[in-house]
Amino acid sequence: MKKVVVIGGGSGLSTLLRGLRDYPIDITAIVTMTDDGASSGRLRKDMGVLPPGDIRKCIAALSENESVLTDLFEYRFKQGLGISGHSMGNLLITAMKEMTGNFEMAIVEISRLLDIKGRVLPATLQDVNLAADFDHNKKIVGESKITKYGYLHKIRKIYLTKKVTTNPRAIAAIDEADVIFVGPGSLYTSIIPNFLQEKLLKSFEDSDAYKVYCCNVSTERGETDNFSVEDHLTTIEKYGISPDAILINSYEFPMGSGDGYVSPVAEEGSEVKVSRIYSNIANIDNPLYHDSIKLGDAAWKIIGASAKYKKAGNGAIYQI
């Protein structure tokens, strides 16, 4: 059974996990720990817990029992003093952490409760924030604030506010992986933060796995406005992330789709050193996001052909 690792955060990572869940693979999700918005941000501040939001989404995506229990886990309270805006899953993870005294053990117990396939691992078990330098020498601290400030300004550099120790289980998973998928997800606030940890980046670089960057199907306001496929690739390479291939959406949306957001395209005549894998992986009804079934199918085909693709080397073009 192939060992597959997915690295990222946010809704993009959970979309890929949901698509891969039912395939015969050994899957591990490595999740960024810099979320400071909404429910996760409040729990970080009030309870001193690591952000549970992205972990919660991944656990729900990997749950083999799509049931009332899973729906309850994802339920978000709409009213109530002090509880409005919180998701039940975030509160359950926080409660389990209080009971076990350990955030990672809380994830294990909640994962067992929801009968998930695979593992969900925090990239680090230390509290850390994301920071960014913008134009005009402006520094912004906090993932949620970075995206908002990015609506009017361009991100120049992203970094962690302190050096942290990478979760050793995440390192072990990368070392043992046959295939590694990076993303999809918010480029600067969900994907790159994982690789700002030196040990995780080094482990990724040294891995013999076939490494695939899943490019988003749309640009994201505040982070990747007007980005092409090459811009995405150039950005991750700037932070030392060097995949073997990039998975690109091949479906072209009609003009006006996506509420003003642009689907990244590969520029004609550009020199891209990594292999390109094209597939129709967009959600036709919601052009801002991937379709989990299509994305999972494409990822499964890549897993099956990974040895052949790796032997062929970089620069090849595939349509799947």
Q: What is the pLDDT of residues 21-79, one digit of tens each?
A: 999 999 999 999 998 877 887 888 878 889 999 999 999 999 987 676 778 888 888 87
What pLDDT, on the 0 to 100 scale, is given for residue 86?
A: 86
If phi > 0 it is left, if psi is from -120 to 50 it is alpha, else beta; for residue 133 that is beta
Residue 96 CA to residue 276 CA, distance in Å, equals 43
With 0-12 CB in 10 A as exposed, 13-18 as middle and 19+ as buried, what is 199?
Answer: middle
CA angle 100, 101, 107 (to 5 degrees): 60
Contact 45, 232 (CB under 8 A): no
CA angle 141, 144, 146 (to 5 degrees): 50
Contact 213, 243 (CB under 8 A): yes
Sorted by where each starts, the structural domains of the chain and their CATH numbers stand as 3-33+166-319 (3.40.50.10680), 35-122 (no CATH)
What pLDDT, on the 0 to 100 scale, is given for residue 223?
A: 92
Q: State phi, psi for 95 to the nearest 5 degrees.
A: -65, -40
What pLDDT, on the 0 to 100 scale, is given for residue 37?
A: 78
**Within 10 A of 273 (CB to CB), how many other CB atoms are there?**
9
Q: State phi, psi for 131 to the nearest 5 degrees.
A: -130, 155
Q: What DSSP element (H or E) covers 130?
A: strand 130-134
What pLDDT, on the 0 to 100 scale, is given for residue 261?
A: 59
Answer yes or no: pTM beyond 0.85.
yes
pLDDT in tens, the chain (320 residues): 999 999 999 889 999 999 999 999 999 999 999 988 778 878 888 788 899 999 999 999 999 876 767 788 888 888 777 777 788 989 999 999 999 999 999 999 999 988 999 999 999 999 999 999 998 889 999 998 998 898 888 999 999 999 999 999 999 999 999 999 999 999 999 999 999 999 999 999 999 999 999 999 988 988 998 898 999 999 999 999 999 999 999 987 765 554 545 677 766 656 678 999 999 999 988 888 999 999 999 999 999 999 999 998 888 999 99
Q: Tell me which DSSP letter residue 272 carries.
A: -
